[in-house]
């Protein structure tokens, strides 16, 4: 049974963010031969996850005290996140990585406008809500949304290959005085439409990945922003602060930002003599 005030979403990749503190001083004391062995082991394991059609992996050097390294996992099924986590846990490299936090979610495309149109279409057919015919009609029309090229391209795109990344979790407030979920569908839809207009003004400058985490983690959504200039994050998020959907109803967790780097740059990151690079056309690792 679907509640009439609940907007539908299209869901795709399961996502796991893992944050680690890196014991660089202890790592530096290891013999070079041992470091090389651990690096190759890690690269081989991560490459197996990254090259699969059903998974993807992103690495980022974080800036600030809350984390040194962020590993982002994509999987087409929930069990795949557990597999990716286990792969990381079994690496000998993790003797020098201490988990600081993690976040579990699933990539989603919100369908406020489309849900309203589906409701209207079913009403025009004189179907009664939550009957078998209404539910079947709703499912059929919802599946049509997956075929829209714009939706299909966003749903199963892999981790954006842009240099800078910013991740943060967020909620919509649901207190006694201000409660997003008690607004009417029409009010929420209007606010989200205005909210989306701001994001579209940054088209081409930032790639946004929204993931739902209700039932999986402490917040209700996770947000990943990817850009070629880190200043874009400040400009976008600051402008959205003046939008009612955020200013009145938004509640945000901790922000994490850093630089993505390619898997073949793992040794550069661990040794710390240079900042690792993001090679968009990353060559396959040599055996």
Question: Which residues are the active-site residues?
Answer: 168
Nearest-angstrom CA–CA distance, 272 and 229 = 22
Nearest-angstrom CA–CA distance, 275 and 65 = 17
Question: Which phi and psi angles does 153 have, rounded to 5°?
Answer: -65, -35
CB burial of 232-255 (b: ≥16 within 10 Å; e: otherwise) equals bbeebbeebeebebbeebbbebee
- Give the residue among 267, 256, 96, 79 at the shortest CA–CA distance from 168: 256
* CB 27 within 8 Å of CB 270: yes
**Residue 165 burial (C-beta neighbours within 10 Å; 0-12, 13-18, 19+):** buried
3-class DSSP state of 132: helix
């Amino acid at each position: 049974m679907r509640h009439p005030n609940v907007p539908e979403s299209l869901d795709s990749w399961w996502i796991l963010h893992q944050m680690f503190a890196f014991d660089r001083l202890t790592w530096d004391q290891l013999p070079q031969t041992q470091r090389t062995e651990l690096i190759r082991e890690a690269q081989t394991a991560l490459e197996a996850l990254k090259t699969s059609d059903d998974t993807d992996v992103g690495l980022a050097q974080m800036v600030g005290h809350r984390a040194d390294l962020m590993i982002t996992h994509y999987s087409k099924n929930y069990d795949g996140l557990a597999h990716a986590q286990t792969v990381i846990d079994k690496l000998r490299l993790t003797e020098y990585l201490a988990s600081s936090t993690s976040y579990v979610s699933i990539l989603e495309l919100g369908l406020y406008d489309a849900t309203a149109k589906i409701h209207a279409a079913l009403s025009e057919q004189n179907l009664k809500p939550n009957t078998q015919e209404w539910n079947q009609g709703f499912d059929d029309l919802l599946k049509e949304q997956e075929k829209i090229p714009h939706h299909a391209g966003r749903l199963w795109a892999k981790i954006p290959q842009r240099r800078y990344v910013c991740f943060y979790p967020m909620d919509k407030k649901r207190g006694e005085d201000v409660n997003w979920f008690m607004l009417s569908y029409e009010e929420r839809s209007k606010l989200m439409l205005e909210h989306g207009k701001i994001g579209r003004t940054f088209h081409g400058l930032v790639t946004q990945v929204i993931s739902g985490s209700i039932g999986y983690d402490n917040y209700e959504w996770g947000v990943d922003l990817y850009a070629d200039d880190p200043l874009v994050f400040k400009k976008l998020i600051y402008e959205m602060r003046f939008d009612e959907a955020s200013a009145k109803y938004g509640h945000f967790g901790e922000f994490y930002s850093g630089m993505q780097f390619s898997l073949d740059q793992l040794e550069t990151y661990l040794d710390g003599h240079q900042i690792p690079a993001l090679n968009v056309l990353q060559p396959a690792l040599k055996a």
